[in-house]
Amino acid sequence: MRLRSSTQGQRRRTSPLRCPAMVQPLRRPLAAVLAAFAGAAAAAAPGQCHLSAIRNQERQRAWQASRESKLQPLPSCEACAAPSPEEVQSWAQSFDKLMHSPAGRSVFRAFLRTEYSEENMLFWLACEELKAEASQHVVDEKARLIYEDYVSILSPKEVSLDSRVREGINKKMQEPSAHTFDDAQLQIYTLMHRDSYPRFLSSPTYRSLLLQGASQSSEA
């Protein structure tokens, strides 16, 4: 009589085709199998689902705060008085002159929109409005809106701030003031000055305004 080797016996006993525990799941409906996998994942990491729910709630609050924002944006180009040729030329002299001109800010904001960086101007304007407020109640409300609209990492309009400035804002938000965002406002102002302003001066938008001013001067 031939004796079977122990290895051959083990191979037959552990064959996946003969293991009821592995064959049984194949007979289940697909929905049951998926539910089993989902349950196993939830049991393995019970905190992940809870964390995901919290993040979704925070995103919803940030989105709703943006929709209900009481911050009044700068009037559109159409609502601003047409700049004189001399005023348009002065915008090329310095970034400060551009930003101190209502029409200049409006035209520059339209240019930033084409570069998908309009939030920088909106944030700067919101900070200017905040510094003009005297009521602490209004300051608290506007500071919260500015934070949720432009500082929160959950906001689609988040501006680019370094970690030092961001940490400073987080501390100041415990007791907001009209100057809570001063460091951040300066950083964004510098960013627009160094990055966007040179491109604005060479853009078709600004060159067109210069040509219009030159044409008006020659006709006069």
Structure-block tokens of residue 66 = 């943006």
Pairwise pLDDT comparison (156 vs 9), residue with the higher score: 156
Q: Which CATH class is domain 93-219?
A: mainly alpha
pLDDT band at 68 (very low <50, low <70, confident <90, very high): very low
Sorted by where each begins, the domain ranges of the chain are 93-219
pLDDT 10s digits, 160-202 = 999 999 999 999 999 999 999 999 999 999 999 999 999 999 9
Q: Is the pLDDT of residue 52 over 80?
A: no
pLDDT band at 15 (very low <50, low <70, confident <90, very high): very low
> How far apart are the C-alpha atoms of 220 and 209, rounded to whole Å?
17
Of the ranges 81-90, 106-115, 117-126, which one carries the lowest mean pLDDT score? 81-90
> How far apart are the C-alpha atoms of 197 and 188, rounded to whole Å?
12
Contact 183, 138 (CB under 8 A): no
Q: Is the pLDDT of residue 9 over 60?
A: no
